[in-house]
Amino acid sequence: MIHRVAIKVRSLSRSYLESFSFTGLVFATLFFCGSITPSLLPRPYIVQGILSGFSLAIGYVVGVLATWGWSFLELPQPGHALARRSKQVCMAVVAIVFAISIWYATEWQNSIRMLMEMPPLETTAPFRFFAIALLVAFILVSIARWMIRLGVYLSNLLQRYLPRRIAISISTLCVLVLGLMIGNGVIARGLLQAADRFFLQADLLIDDGIEQPTLELACGSEQSLVDWEAIGRQGKDFIGDGPKAGEIERLTGQPAKRPIRVYVGMRTDGDDQARATLALEELKREGAFDRKILIVATPTGTGWLDESAVDTVEYLHHGDTAIVSMQYSYLPSWITILVDPSRSKRSATALFDQVYAYWTTLPKEERPRLYLFGLSLGAFGCEDAADLMETFQDPIQGAVWSGPPFPSRQWASIVSSRNPGTPVWMPTFRDQSMVRFTSQQNMLDTGKAWGPIRNVYIQHASDPMVWFSPSAAWHQPEWLSEPRGPDVSPGLRWYPIVTFLQIAFDLPMATSVPLGYGHNYSPSSYIDAWVAVTQPEGWSQTDLDRLRDHFATPTEDVRLPLPGIAPTLKPSELDSEPTEAM
């Protein structure tokens, strides 16, 4: 009995293995090998396994489609002897490529980790990620086969009443539509709802040490117009965890004010317009329009405002600042950008319009200088808020945007129109009077004059949120051209479809690397940007170095030289008088 069962199992296994396309398996293996090569970020073996599983499955499908296409075009088939020799040669070549890929897997991952000051790996656990890849590929290919079987079944039914080709076309279309409906309506929606519930609960949490403000002139206090319980976790962190006037004074040695921070959460009643109106009224209540600097900040998808960005500008201006923000989501940026990226634009525009409309009614010599700030999806949301055509008669003073995500149209337009000879990851734009770019190394002091509006983009060459693009599936992206960014592995090569998958899998891990790399922007870069844009008075190079040391972390204190670009060694226009907008 056991013997018969064993024979049956072996027979079924042999039959199942023989059902695979040889060409499909060749493509699958090559796609797998490509997936092991470096991408923008280092990957743990679990993520590598899932990525390689998708690569195996998609590679197999590509190979099967190539075989079908060859047969459909009725191209000549090789003879039996030639086909056998070709398979033997193919198997030998693919086996060599596979062995080389596994051998270099650890070295490739460490080539990224070294650039990002991460400890090297002793091994990438190839057996583990290979097992995960096989499991993932098996599931995906099985789903595809069941869909094909369903298509064949429908085609056979329809052929009783319709011509063969029409029946095949209709059945194929039906299966594709059904697959899309299940994928989007069941799987994607289920995952989205699960993520929505998880991050909603996370938004209800309060971090240790964060308590409701007791100061009357503080957002979220008993006297505040903004309900503390409706602010959300990230907003409470923003309001309760900033620098105090005494802390600023101890570092700078000069008198300081209490920085004003206003935040309106998603659970506040009303729509974007109502929340923006509430934020404006709270700004008025706290005296924000009597400060020197007013910043309209758009947070990330979770509602987070990077302390590296907001704390540094408050120190630079001795607390004589007001920052206002409004939450539009509690999902991470990489999820929000796939679901509804326009949320950030609607929220940012509503808030800016309210603040700007009131700001323009104030005497120019008495009102604060007005700036925009956005990180990640926040940069996408607010980059169009201050439309120059609508504000040119009374423009704001500038903006700082960090990690602008790939759908950002204004950023993309500027980068595509960059000056000839400048790399896409560190471009210069026209005469550099309005827009400049910087990264780990300060590139803002170009020796050229700024105009009345100063805008700075901070971007890393290793940030997948910036460089992801669907076109990477069929076209080599410009950021892979030479010279490359200083934090991009020299082993990163473009492979059709595979590179697209690699960067797509980098997106959820964009903040898993140390400060100063990927989607993690360092205080030092923000200091450079705020100095160039807001022109704080009375700061020497020594003072700025002390401020950088105050915020520095062990992995953030190194500035990478940019290939072919001279580094900036001094801050830009530190002692110049602020320039009023024309």
Please report, for the chain, the start and end positions of each structural domain, with discontinuous segments joined by +: 229-463+514-551
Cis? peptide before 243, omega within 30° of 0: no
Q: How far is CA 41 from the centre of its chain?
A: 12
Give dist(CA 481, CA 542) in Å, integer.
Answer: 37
Instruction: Take residue 495 and report the two structure tokens written for it.
Output: 């492979």
Considering the chain, what is the average pLDDT of its residues? 87
The number of angstroms, rounded, from the C-alpha of 74 to the middle of its chain's C-alpha atoms is: 45
Residue (of 131, 147, 106) closest to 50 by Cα position: 131
User: Any idea what the Cα angle at residue 262 is, between residues 579 and 514, rounded to 5°?
Assistant: 80
Q: Residue 321 in 3-state DSSP?
A: strand
What are phi and psi for residue 458, nearest 5 degrees? Answer: -105, 125
- The topology under which CATH files domain 229-463+514-551 is Rossmann fold (3.40.50)
Instruction: State pLDDT tens for residues 232-275.
Output: 889 999 998 889 999 999 999 999 999 999 999 988 888 999 99
**124, 48 in Cβ contact below 8 A?**
yes
Q: Compute the distance between CA of residue 64 and CA of residue 56 in angstroms, rounded to an integer.
A: 12
CA distances from 571 to 448, 522, 531, 550, 563 (A): 13, 16, 7, 17, 21
Task: Give me the pLDDT at residue 199, please.
Answer: 58
Residues in the chain predicted with pLDDT less than 70, given as ranges, are: 1-18, 180-209, 553-582
Which 3-state string (H, E, C) describes 455-488?
A: EEEECCCCCHHHHCCHHHHCCCCHHHCCCCCCCC
Q: How deeply is 491 buried, as exposed, middle or buried, from its count of CB atoms within 10 A (0-12, 13-18, 19+)?
A: middle
Task: Write a three-state SS string for 1-52.
Answer: CHHHHHHHHHHHHHHHHHCCCHHHHHHHHHHHHHHHCCCCCCCCHHHHHHHH
Residue 387 is classified by DSSP as -
Phi/psi for 553 (5° steps) reads -115, 160
Among candidates 478, 460, 294, 441, which has minimal Cα distance to 375? Answer: 460
Predicted confidence at residue 233, as pLDDT, reads 86
DSSP state of 507: G
- Are 366 and 292 in contact by the 8 Å Cβ rule? The answer is no
List of E strands, 122-267: 260-264
Cα gap 135→138, rounded to integer Å? 5
Order of strands, sheet of 260-264, starting from the edge strand that comes earlier in the sequence = 260-264, 321-326, 293-298, 369-375, 398-402, 454-458, 435-438
Residue 25 neighbours by CB distance under 10 Å: 19
Distance CA 264, CA 138 (A): 47
- Give the pLDDT of residue 365: 93
pLDDT of residue 157: 87
Q: What pLDDT, on the 0 to 100 scale, is given for residue 20?
A: 81
Distance between start and end Cα atoms, the chain: 92
Q: How many CA atoms are closer than 13 Å to the CA of 560, on its beta-carbon side?
A: 24
pLDDT the model gives residue 151: 82
Q: How far apart (Å, rounded) are the C-alpha atoms in residues 76 and 393?
A: 70
Q: Smallest Cα–Cα separation from 518: which of 333, 295, 303, 310?
A: 333
Tell me which H or E stretch contains 154: helix 126-158
pTM score of the predicted model:
0.87
Q: Which of 307, 393, 297 is nearest to 348 (CA)?
A: 297
